[in-house]
Amino acid sequence: MKSSFTVFFSFFFLLSFSQKGTNELSLNGEWKFKTDPYGKGETQQWYLPTINVTGWDEMNVPGNWDLRNEYAHYAGKAWYRKDVVIPFASKGKLMRLLFEAVNHDSKVWVNGKLLGTNNSGYLPFEFNVSSILHYGANNSIVVLVDNTFRIGALWNWGGIRRPVKIIASSPIYITNQFITTSINLQSHTAEVSIKVLCQNTGIRSESLKGEVLLTNAAGFKKSIQFSIAVPTKQTQEVTVKASLNKEEVHLWSCDDPFLYQSQVTISNGPQLVHQVTDQFGLRKIELENKNYTLILNGEVIRPMGFNLVPDDRTTGNTLPLWRIMEDIDLMKSLGGNMARLTHVPLPKEMFDYLDAKGILTFSEIPLWGFDQLVDVNNPLPKAWLKRLIANNYNHPSIAGWSVGNEIGDSPGVMEYVEDAIKYVRTRDTSRLAVMISHTASRPRDPIQFSDLGFINRYGPTIGLVADKIHGLHPEKVLFYSEFGYGQLREDLDANVDAKGMMDSIRFKPYLIGGSLWTFNDYRSSYVGTKEFSENRPWGIVDVFRQKKEAWYSFRKEYAPIRDLKIEIAKGNENSSANIIITPRKVLDLPAYTLKEYSLVWQACNRNNKIEQGGFSKLPVIAPGDNELQQSISWRNSGEISYLKIKLISPLNYSVCDTTVYFKEPAAPTILFAHAGRTLQNDTSANSGLIRIVFSKKVPHSYFKAKYGVNDLSKETSLTLNNFIDIPKLQFGETYQFVVVGVNGAGEGEPSEIKKIKVEPGLAPPLIYYTEAANNGFYVGYATANDDYQFIIQYTDKPGSYDNATTIQTGAKGVLFVPGVSNGKKYYFRMKKIKDNNYATDWSEEHTVIPDGGQLPASPEIHGVLQNGNEAILSFQPVKKATGYVAQYRKSGSNEWMTKQVHAAQISVVKIAGLLINEKYKFRMATLNETGQSEFSEVVEAK
């Protein structure tokens, strides 16, 4: 009875807050789970409601089973089951069971009856379950999932990876609306066409009244009425159109992604039947092959971007909203504006955020390489394309549809690509149709059918390869959909010659941009993966989104300006600086016009608090413009540690910055040191090692260790990591060492001197990362080729492990610790066992607080700068945030005014509309999936 009560409560709770015309019952949460490695489940009828599931495991939905240690490498069939009570009052409604995504192949039963199958792990699907459900009684929902399908180097995450729900509605409902826009740039007007599809699952034909209501955040509103007659058991469509005049048109662009809403309502007399709302944008994309230009809203753009593998090691490919927002925010702060983003379809939430943040992308079906699906007679690719386009038609961020990636060596590829692109054009005439080619250096290649010449190539000769492809296909505008030199490493010191790579493809008129492979490292067991942790290290961030050295290299090369220099003039009481902005050149990469950008300067102390600063709005900057210069000055103060200059986009992204340090870093603190051997069976001379773990104190740039037997005359290379290994040491010798921070002002004070004797024990594992989860936590660690098992001990008492809980697993790279309490602090340490059963020593102690259902931390405000009627808040973004609330009030007033911030990983917020010459106070709170944090401390503007 307890579970039934919970289900009823959830259902009626949703009744109060659901979309008009529908009620939704979420089926997220714990499901019963059982693997089926021998394929017995269907024969033994595990789908029947009478099957005893005692002893089955429990698995979270949405979720991936391979996030769990015991299923980390399971590929094959697995079963999910959930029992749910449906209220009797729902009888007579249309009841649809919707799965947002199940990876990859699936079968679904309700109450023992097979509903059907699905063959895509990335697209939503649903079933009409109205006549199958038991109303006022229990219902069993059973899903058989098979994750055997794998595309390329991507991990084949298994499970019900996205949310599941039952939707109750009238038997007649709106299945979709297709919004097509046409922009007249000369008159600055637009035509909007909305095709509405209504399906009638009832037993009577219906004649209904309808309304399309177009709105935007600026107060625009336009209503169009229509009528529609929908015969029983059929789908009917109606198209309505609206004309928007000059005052009503606000174009969507990468720096100004302005959105409209289309709300469609159907009614039967005074009774509302169903209502849906979608967002869309007004933008015009033109491709001129003759001039080799990509034009957005009449302006030539030469954009850059990143390929994203949409997963990580702690949430798999479930893509919670915070992960979606963090990835897009980080790419946007790197200057990413267009990309062939990924090989697979993305969920609606990700396209919604791409819409809101202004990244153009090409959505793709998962055909890759030498693929048997690349066949003009195989119906599956067209079925995927049809579903892909229907689900995502209205997103302004989608510039085109891709029919496959690197399929040029597949038999029949020419016929397939020609046919598939023709098919795409029958579904959508408003976008580009493309394929991604790694074989375009051949005279005859399916790139000839692609609207835009998407090419993939790696290595130091990518510029020469582009020249060759241009010679073979001179009619094509080219875009590097993938480029790179090779895999990096997963540690944070990994770097690549970003400037050399970019310079090799710049200033080629026919090559208008590129998309780096990849933004992030990703889990993979694909041949050639360098790391033994199962992390494929192509990215400029690791699998946990920690920034590598390569991040900063590409941030400079992707910046929308060519350079940002500071010339300092020091005085006795005051200092000044001349800031020089060098715009991009006309055929540079990237190259586009900058509008409404701001220049911000901050003089900060060692705690990152702003002591002095200011900002100004920049004029329009176009590629090829002359240098711009601005002067700033500040009072000399012993508190100022560094000066940072930032270029801030209209969307509050810091897309370029330069820092001048006035003070060396403070001394770091050594947390842990261990001396041992580096190789399992090697105690030869000079094979010892000292591993040092330390705290990183901002504003350090880099760290190094100084060491020696009798002095500190030797030193290590600079690192971004929070650990340093000192190799090639003598066993039996005692060494002394310190850690030093280094920045632009020089070396800081060293840490306290430590001494340690090098013994032959094996060094403990390096713990790269810890992430809190719901009733658990994840630990990311380095993995060597000869690692056999990994052991974690955790306790709620620091340093006390006599009664600690122990977990052992063979999972590489990441393990999960389950069964702990949310909001409670835990302490843990780790060791590993090598192939010959030799155990390492224990690592240093770490702490974590599981965060399921917990409110987020408040943001730390670094300072507020005010200039006239505007202010800029600088703050430290919060992990897993899905937004912020900024509040401000005049000094002496008790009335707070509020600004909602729809972003996750930004560090500045601009507030306009302040009263000039008035002093204001500010505070901020963080939003996450649970709710809103407490407000930060109140600060005043400088």
Alpha-carbon separation of residue 650 from 332, 434, 653, 808 (angstroms) = 12, 31, 7, 49
Q: Which long-range contacts (CB under 8 A, 24 or more apart) does 52-60 make?
A: 53/81, 56/32, 56/81, 57/32, 57/33, 58/30, 58/31, 58/32, 58/33, 59/30, 59/31, 59/32, 59/33, 59/159, 60/29, 60/30, 60/31, 60/774
H/E element holding 604?
A: strand 598-604
Chain center to CA of 583: 29
Residue 91, sorted as left (phi over 0), alpha (psi -120 to 50) or beta, turns out to be beta
Structure confidence at residue 699 (pLDDT): 59
What percent of the chain is predicted at pLDDT more than 90?
A: 93
Query: What is the spatial distance between Cα 603 and Cα 641, in angstroms, rounded to a whole number?
Result: 7
pLDDT band at 5 (very low <50, low <70, confident <90, very high): very low
Q: What is the pLDDT of residues 757-811, one digit of tens each?
A: 999 888 899 999 999 999 999 999 999 999 999 999 999 999 999 999 999 999 9
H/E element holding 416?
A: helix 413-427
Sign of CA dihedral 738, 742, 746, 751: negative
Phi, psi for residue 885 in degrees, rounded to 5: -120, 120
- 727 close to 678: Cβ distance less than 8 angstroms: yes
pLDDT at 13 over 60: no
pLDDT at 11 over 60: no
Tokens 């199962």, residue? Answer: 534
Query: What is the spatial distance between Cα 382 and Cα 485, in angstroms, rounded to a whole number?
Result: 34
Structure confidence at residue 682 (pLDDT): 76
pLDDT, average across residues 130-150: 97
pLDDT, average across residues 365-372: 93
Greatest CA separation found in the chain? 94
pLDDT at 271 over 90: yes
Sign of CA dihedral 553, 559, 562, 564: negative
Structure confidence at residue 458 (pLDDT): 96
Query: What is the spatial distance between Cα 300 and Cα 512, in angstroms, rounded to a whole number?
Result: 10
3-state secondary structure of 777: strand
This prediction's pTM: 0.95
Q: What is the pLDDT of residues 441-454, one digit of tens each?
A: 999 999 999 999 99
Chain center to CA of 852: 20
Structure tokens of 528?
């050639």
Query: What is the spatial distance between Cα 611 and Cα 592, in angstroms, rounded to a whole number?
Result: 34
H/E element holding 653?
A: none
Nearest Cα to Cα of residue 157 among 9, 309, 259: 309
Q: What is the pLDDT of residues 644-674, one digit of tens each?
A: 999 999 999 999 999 999 999 999 999 999 9
Query: What is the spatial distance between Cα 206 and Cα 228, in angstroms, rounded to a whole number?
Result: 8
pLDDT at 6 over 70: no
pLDDT band at 837 (very low <50, low <70, confident <90, very high): confident
Structure tokens of 548?
């590598």
Q: How many CA atoms lie within 13 A of 158 on its CB side?
A: 26
pLDDT band at 549 (very low <50, low <70, confident <90, very high): very high
Sign of CA dihedral 373, 379, 385, 388: negative
Q: Could you give the residue ranges of the DSSP H alpha helices within 371-434?
A: 380-392, 413-427
Structure confidence at residue 218 (pLDDT): 95
pLDDT at 17 over 60: no
* Averaged confidence pLDDT in the chain: 94
Q: Which amino acid is at 551?
A: W
Q: Which amino acid is at 580?
A: I
Q: What is the pLDDT of residues 113-132, one digit of tens each?
A: 999 999 999 999 999 999 99
pLDDT, average across residues 820-826: 97
Return the bridge partners of 669, or none: 695
Q: How many CB atoms lie within 10 A of CB 494?
A: 19
- 877 close to 905: Cβ distance less than 8 angstroms: yes
pLDDT band at 14 (very low <50, low <70, confident <90, very high): very low
Buried b (16+ CB within 10 A) or exposed e, 392-419: bbbbbbbbbbbbbbbbbebeebbebbbb
Query: What is the spatial distance between Cα 13 and Cα 11, in angstroms, rounded to a whole number?
Result: 5
Structure confidence at residue 456 (pLDDT): 97
Q: What is the pLDDT of residues 724-750, one digit of tens each?
A: 999 999 999 999 999 999 999 999 999
pLDDT at 700 over 90: no
pLDDT band at 680 (very low <50, low <70, confident <90, very high): confident
Nearest Cα to Cα of residue 319 among 364, 359, 350: 350
Nearest Cα to Cα of residue 407 among 360, 361, 451, 456: 456
pLDDT at 683 over 80: no
Q: Which amino acid is at 767?
A: I
Q: What is the pLDDT of residues 80-114, one digit of tens each?
A: 999 999 999 999 999 999 999 999 999 999 999 99
Chain center to CA of 764: 32
pLDDT at 610 over 90: yes
